[in-house]
Structure formats: structure tokens, C-alpha cells
């Protein structure tokens, strides 16, 4: 593969997937095997922060890829390295540090909150990771992080998750990530459940995380338009394989792979004068949706 | 009646509408609280027209659709309004008349309908059921032939009739729902987020099938959704709802290219595009509008003052071509609209 796997200094990539394959057994006696991620090789550089989009439809394996990057799943074949070290080894030897450096933002922020705790609980990790010298300093850090994402600390802290809107909950999770100062964020459909007017604010917050804090983001999405807005590089995933990759602008402007072309032609343009491009799909029975690989999200990020 | 509508839009005075909704108000009662979900909604749908009804979550768009069909369930309650279809007010029609009108005159494709097919019944039998339930049991062969024709009209093979829902993909199940909704040649189809759970490639194919099927019947459609890009591709006229009220309605090109209400402009600038990455085109559309809310941005054209606006439903201003905009007085200035949209 011809990935820019290492910079001029020879520093190992921030995240590197080397011929990664992940299959799940299913069916009677678990004898059938579903391949969710198939021979994926990619790398995010360590010298500069990037937002890399993993774009694909349901069943493409994009969420499995995200779970692999977070170390929540281990690859069936191939290697996954974070800053040169195998992720599985890292978790065994220095799990806490890996869990700080690689953070997750999921589709439904409500999944992350324990309904019986006040939302303040998501900041309890400050003590665990020893990020604040004192309780008072920790509280002030939390308040300033909340303000940074446009939340009023006095109107947010002390509330329960169900009292927050989806957009507020997602911004709270971004505030949490701000405090942890990770190297990498895996954001799995972070805006697919929030309203349009909120979506822009969250996408802008992601770009700010990259530009101001130097955090790289693996942005997993089905939505090419938002990927186009925020990402520097894009990987188009189809049935577990990367079918096209490159700079986001180049791939969207001149896709080569037939599937990528069809995907881009299907994205509706928010302008009544620019109609859906490309030939419509005329195959009988429409497009098969492909084998879906259902995976539950982890219940909580600790 | 405060709402000031031009003759072309004034409910009741128009010959050429299939459906007329006048001053519809729906609320949800809680123990000591009442939430007005739809407030003073008025619009008409012309023959063969596709009207988009958009809004963010909680805007009342789905409640409005259910109210049109009188399908609001407690604690929801239709407080007032008229919904006229073929000369009959659906909100006061007797149950027998209402039953006749539903499906035959107006069909609903509810939200998540593709997941509400009967799992133990073959797709063809479910479509046949929709026909015989309303027309009585006809000749079996004729019904089977109609099912085959309907499946073909939604680009499904005849073999799909013999398959169970779990044997069909999401896109195929949604096509079955479209076939059921169009089975009795309705004059109006109400589709609530009909493609929202589908992948983008399937979404386009199903959306085009839905438009084909309604065009072929010369039926009108109310398309409820939150995705403005999808609406741009599908509708003739667009109505924007916010907090139960209509804020802007007009021909789709007028609303997209010359949005007037601050909230519409916020929504439009928030839509990402792969052909307009920096949003230059949309920023140009919304530029040049004043943000001074102490008076209505329409200036002298508006006679409403702030005090009455907070109490009453806002006036609808006609800005031309049947493009109507709610007076934003009483809704706060541009900055607070942003905040409200973000909270």
C-alpha cells in the first residue's frame, strides 16, 4: 500500500491499520462467518492533525472500523497500531493512558449517560486521569470547557441527561473530550441525530478541536455532505473494503470507483435548480441494502 | 381572524385545492401543563402538487399530518380548525365517512412504515388486504392482478408478492408501503419521512419511485421531512414550521433562493452541500436581509406591533408569487433565534 505511513522524521503514524480484517461468526452453531472489515490498510499521520472521514452506508463496516480503532474490538487478522504500538498490547500495558488518548463520540449521546446520575458524572474521569490538581481547579476546568462549547455551566451542571436536548448532550460530550486532551477522536455519526441548525455548530466544534488543540479525528459517517465540510481525507468503505481514498475534495470532485460515483450521484443537493446527478437506479427491486452487520454500541464510555 | 392571507391562499376561497387546512390547533395535555404542538396552521394543497412540510424535531410537522387524518391520540387533542378534502371537513365527519375517505381519498405512509408491515404475512397479501378492506372482497384473480400491477409501479418484481417482510431489504419494504398507499388511487398521499431510514443510494431510488407513483395517479402529496436537500429535489412548494407555527411557505425555488424569515435562513445555511462546500451560494441567498427585530423586517408593509404579536399568531405577509412569510416580531431578534435554534 502507498499510504503516507510515516513523516519525514520517521515518526510512526498516529493510527495505522495494516491489512485489518474483522469477521463475526453467526448462524447455527456459529459456523457462518460475516466479514465486516476486509483487508483495510490506512494511516493517519502523527506530525499534523487531520480529520479523516470513513464514509459508507449501513453494513459497510464503518462502525466496526471505529470500534477497532477504539480498541473495543480486536482484529481477526492484520495489525492495528497507535503511535507505533499494537493497540491490543497498549490496552494490556497502559490501558488507562490509551483510553485517555483515544476518545469516542457516538451517534446517540443519550447512550453514554447513566440516567440515574447527574450529567456532572461524565466529568468524574478528571480525577481518575489526574488531570486537575485540585477539586476546585477541576470544577473551573469543567466550567470553562462547557463555555467553550456554548453551554452555560449553571444551566447544565446538576441536570439529568433526559433534561438535555440531543444537541446539548452532544456538546457536553465534546466538552468532556476537550478536558481529556486526547490525540485522536473516533466520532461515529456524531451529528446524525441532531437537528440541522445544531449540526453546523457540532461540525465546527470538530474542526476547532483539530485546528486549536491539534486533535485528529476519525469521522465515521454515512453523510458525504458533512464529510465534505469537515474532512481533509476520505476513505469510501463498501462491504468492508476501502474502494476509494484520497483528499476529500479530489474524491468528491472526480470519483473513480463506480460505487463511489453512484454514492455521490445520490446525494441530494439543497438547491431545486440542481437536480440529482447521474442516471437513476433502475435495477429491479431497487438496490440491495447489503448485508447489515449489527453491532450494539458500548453502553458507556468511562 | 388575525391571519391575513392573500386571495390565492385564503382557505375556502380557492377552487383549485385538493386539501385545505384552516387554523388547525393541536395540543397535548399533561397533568398541569399544556403543550400547543400545532398552532393556527393554514395551507392548501393544489391538485398534483407536492408540498413539503419541514421543520426540526418538535416543530409539529408530524402532529399536523396526523391531525389532518384525525389520527391524533390522547393526550393529544385537536382543539380547533377545519381540514377540507373533497368538500368534507375531516375533523367533523362521522366515523363511517371518515373511514371511507382514509385510504381511498387520502393515504398515509407513516413514519417508520417499512418496519410496521405485518411480519407473518406475505407482502402481496398485505397489499391485497388494503384493497379488499376498503372495496370488499372482489374476484381473487383480479385482486392478484392489481397487486402485480402495483408492485410493478413501484419497480418491484412480481415475486415480491410471495415474500415476507424479513426477506425484503429496507428499500423494498418501503416500496411495498408505497404500493399499499397508492392501491386505492387516493387524491392525496401524506408521507412522513418516507426515506429517512434508508441509505442515500436507496433513498434516491425510493424517492423517485414515490414521485413517479403519485404523478401517475395525478395525486397530490404532502411530504413531511427534516432534510432540506431532499425536499429541494422532491417538492413543488415548501412550508417551514417552527414551534407549531408556519413561518414561511412558497414555491420551492422562492423559499430556497429568496428565503425571508430569519429561521428559514438559519436552516438553509445549516445544510451542508458537496457542490457548494463553503456555502457561498446559500450565503448569497440569505445576505442583505436586515436583522433589526424591533420592527418587522418588512417595514411599513407590516401593521403588527410587538405587543400583539407575542399574544396572537403572527401575520402572514405575501412577498409575491404566493410566497408567504410570518411576521417575526415577537419571536426575538436574529441572535436570539440562533440561540433558540441551538438550545
Section B244-263 average pLDDT: 91
Q: Which of B190-204, B210-224, B245-259, B280-294 has the lowest mean pLDDT?
A: B280-294
Min distance A172 CA to chain B CA atoms (Å): 12
Last residue of a domain, one of B196, B213, B242: B242
A285 and B160 within 8 Å at the Cβ level: the answer is yes
Whole-angstrom distance, CA of residue B234 vs CA of residue B195 = 12
Q: Which CATH superfamily is domain A15-267 in?
A: P-loop containing nucleotide triphosphate hydrolases (3.40.50.300)
User: Is B189 in the same domain as B92?
Assistant: yes
B218 CA: distance to closest CA in chain A (Å): 21
Does B229 lie in the same domain as B100? yes
User: Does residue B29 share a domain with residue B58?
Assistant: yes
Question: HSE (CB half, 13 Å, CA atoms) of B33?
Answer: 3
Q: Give residue B9's pLDDT.
A: 46
For the entire predicted model, the pTM comes to 0.82
Q: Which domain holds residue B293?
A: 259-337
Cross-chain Cβ contact A228/B276 below 8 Å = no
Q: pLDDT averaged over chain B?
A: 82
Of B209, B242, B275, the domain-final residue: B242
d(CA B123, CA B172): 10
**What residues in A contact B254, CB-CB < 8 Å?**
none
Tell me: do B60 and B96 sit in the same domain: yes
Confidence check: pLDDT of B92 > 90: yes
Residue A187, pLDDT score: 93
Both B189 and B323 in a single domain? no
Cell of A238: 463498501
Question: For the segment B289-329, what is each residue's pLDDT rounded down to a tens digit?
Answer: 444 343 455 554 455 554 454 445 556 778 888 899 887 65
The count of CB pairs under 8 A between chains A and B is 145
Domain for residue B321, yes or no?
yes
What pLDDT was estimated at residue B157? 93
Between the alpha carbon of residue B294 and those of residues B100, B238, B264, the distances in Å are 50, 27, 19
Which residue is closest to B169 within chain A, CA to CA? A289
Its sign, for the CA torsion B177, B179, B180, B184, is positive
Q: Which long-range contacts (CB under 8 A, 24 or more apart) does B234-238 make?
A: B234/B50, B234/B52, B234/B207, B235/B50, B235/B51, B235/B52, B236/B49, B236/B50, B236/B51, B237/B49, B237/B50, B237/B51, B237/B52, B237/B322, B238/B51, B238/B52, B238/B54
Within a domain: B11: no
Is ipTM strictly over 0.85? no
Whole-number pLDDT of residue A269: 92
Confirm whether B250 is domain-assigned: no
Quick check: is B223 in a domain? yes
What mean pLDDT is predicted for residues B254-273?
86
The tally of domains found in chain B comes to 2
Q: With an 8 Å Cβ cutoff, are A225 and B208 in contact?
A: no
Half-sphere exposure for B31 (CA within 13 Å, toward CB)? 0
pLDDT at A260: 95
- Structure-block grid coordinates of residue A75: 482484529
Which is more confident, A175 or B90?
Answer: B90
Query: In the structure grid, which three cell numbers stand for residue A296, read together?
Result: 450494539
What pLDDT tens digit does each residue of chain A (302 aa) get?
Answer: 444 444 456 789 999 999 999 999 876 676 778 899 999 999 999 999 999 999 998 889 999 999 999 999 999 999 999 999 999 999 999 888 898 899 988 877 666 677 778 888 878 777 777 677 777 888 888 888 888 777 888 888 888 877 877 778 888 888 888 888 899 999 998 888 777 777 887 888 889 889 988 999 999 999 999 999 999 999 999 999 999 999 999 999 999 999 999 999 999 999 999 888 755 444 444 444 433 333 333 333 33
A173: part of which helix (H) or strand (E)? helix A166-180
Q: Is residue B295 part of a domain?
A: yes
Confidence band (pLDDT; 50, 70, 90) for B77? Answer: very high
CB contact at 8 A, A53 and A235: yes
CATH code for the domain in which residue B228 is found? 3.40.50.300
More confident residue, B54 or A190: B54
pLDDT value at residue A293: 31
Give the per-residue pLDDT at A176. Answer: 86
Q: What whole-number distance in Å separates Cα of residue B50 and Cα of residue B68?
A: 16
Q: What is the pLDDT of residue B89?
A: 94
Amino acid at each position: 500500500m502507498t499510504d503516507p505511513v510515516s513523516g519525514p522524521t520517521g515518526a510512526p503514524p498516529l493510527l495505522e491499520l495494516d491489512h485489518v480484517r474483522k469477521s463475526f461468526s453467526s448462524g447455527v452453531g456459529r459456523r457462518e462467518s460475516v466479514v465486516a472489515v476486509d483487508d483495510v490498510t490506512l494511516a493517519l499521520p502523527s506530525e499534523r492533525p487531520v480529520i479523516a472521514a470513513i464514509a459508507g452506508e449501513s453494513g459497510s463496516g464503518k462502525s466496526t472500523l471505529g470500534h477497532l480503532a477504539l480498541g473495543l474490538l480486536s482484529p481477526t487478522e492484520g495489525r492495528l497500531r497507535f503511535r507505533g504500538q499494537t493497540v491490543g498490547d497498549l490496552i494490556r500495558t497502559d490501558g488507562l493512558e490509551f483510553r485517555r488518548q483515544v476518545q469516542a463520540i457516538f451517534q446517540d449521546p443519550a447512550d453514554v449517560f447513566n440516567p440515574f446520575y447527574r450529567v456532572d458524572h461524565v466529568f468524574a474521569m478528571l480525577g481518575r486521569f489526574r488531570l486537575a490538581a485540585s477539586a476546585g481547579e477541576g470544577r473551573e476546568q469543567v466550567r470553562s470547557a462547557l463555555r467553550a462549547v456554548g453551554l452555560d455551566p449553571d444551566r447544565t451542571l446538576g441536570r439529568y441527561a433526559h433534561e438535555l436536548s440531543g444537541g446539548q448532550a452532544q456538546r457536553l460530550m465534546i466538552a468532556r473530550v476537550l478536558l481529556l486532551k486526547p490525540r485522536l477522536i473516533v466520532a461515529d455519526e456524531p451529528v446524525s441525530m441532531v437537528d440541522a441548525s445544531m449540526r453546523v455548530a457540532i461540525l465546527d466544534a470538530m474542526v476547532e478541536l483539530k485546528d486549536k488543540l491539534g486533535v485528529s479525528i476519525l469521522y465515521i459517517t454515512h453523510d458525504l455532505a458533512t464529510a465534505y465540510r469537515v474532512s481533509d481525507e476520505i476513505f469510501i468503505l463498501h462491504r468492508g473494503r476501502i474502494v476509494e481514498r484520497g483528499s476529500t475534495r479530489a474524491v468528491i470532485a472526480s470519483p473513480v470507483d463506480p460505487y463511489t460515483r453512484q454514492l455521490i450521484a445520490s446525494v441530494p443537493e439543497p438547491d431545486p435548480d440542481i437536480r440529482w446527478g447521474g442516471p437513476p437506479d433502475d435495477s429491479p427491486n431497487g438496490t440491495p441494502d447489503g448485508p447489515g452487520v449489527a453491532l450494539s454500541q458500548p453502553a458507556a464510555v468511562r | 381572524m388575525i391571519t391575513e392571507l392573500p386571495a390565492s391562499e385564503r382557505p375556502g376561497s380557492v377552487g383549485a385545492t385538493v386539501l385545505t387546512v384552516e387554523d388547525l390547533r393541536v395540543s397535548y395535555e399533561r397533568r398541569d401543563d399544556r403543550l400547543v404542538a400545532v398552532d393556527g396552521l393554514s395551507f392548501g394543497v393544489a391538485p398534483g402538487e407536492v408540498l413539503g412540510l419541514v421543520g426540526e424535531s418538535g416543530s409539529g410537522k408530524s402532529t399536523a399530518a396526523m391531525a389532518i387524518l384525525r389520527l391524533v391520540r390522547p393526550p393529544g387533542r385537536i382543539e380547533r380548525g377545519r381540514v377540507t378534502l373533497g368538500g368534507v371537513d375531516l375533523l367533523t365527519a362521522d366515523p363511517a365517512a371518515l373511514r371511507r375517505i382514509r385510504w381511498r381519498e387520502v393515504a398515509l405512509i407513516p413514519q417508520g412504515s417499512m418496519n410496521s408491515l405485518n411480519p407473518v404475512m406475505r407482502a402481496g397479501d398485505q397489499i391485497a388486504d388494503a384493497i379488499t378492506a376498503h372495496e370488499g372482497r372482489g374476484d381473487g384473480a383480479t385482486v392478484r392482478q392489481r397487486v402485480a400491477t402495483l408492485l410493478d409501479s413501484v419497480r418491484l418484481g412480481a415475486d415480491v408478492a410471495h415474500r415476507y417482510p424479513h426477506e425484503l431489504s429496507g428499500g423494498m419494504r418501503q416500496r411495498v408501503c408505497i404500493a399499499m398507499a397508492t392501491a386505492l388511487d387516493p387524491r392525496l398521499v401524506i408521507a412522513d419521512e418516507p426515506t429517512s431510514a434508508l441509505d442515500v443510494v436507496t433513498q434516491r431510488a425510493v424517492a423517485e419511485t414515490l414521485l413517479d407513483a403519485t404523478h401517475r395517479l395525478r395525486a397530490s402529496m404532502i411530504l413531511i421531512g427534516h432534510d432540506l436537500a431532499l425536499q429541494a429535489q422532491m417538492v413543488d412548494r415548501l412550508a417551514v414550521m417552527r414551534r407549531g407555527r408556519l413561518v414561511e411557505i412558497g414555491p420551492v425555488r422562492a423559499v430556497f433562493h429568496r428565503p425571508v424569515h430569519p429561521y428559514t435562513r438559519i436552516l438553509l445555511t445549516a445544510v451542508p452541500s458537496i457542490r457548494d462546500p463553503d456555502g457561498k451560494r446559500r450565503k448569497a441567498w440569505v445576505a442583505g436581509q436586515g436583522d433589526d427585530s424591533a420592527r418587522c423586517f418588512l417595514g411599513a408593509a407590516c401593521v403588527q406591533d410587538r405587543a400583539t404579536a407575542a399574544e396572537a399568531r403572527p401575520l402572514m405577509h405575501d412577498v409575491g408569487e404566493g410566497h408567504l412569510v410570518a411576521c417575526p416580531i415577537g419571536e426575538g431578534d436574529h441572535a436570539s433565534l440562533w440561540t433558540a435554534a441551538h438550545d
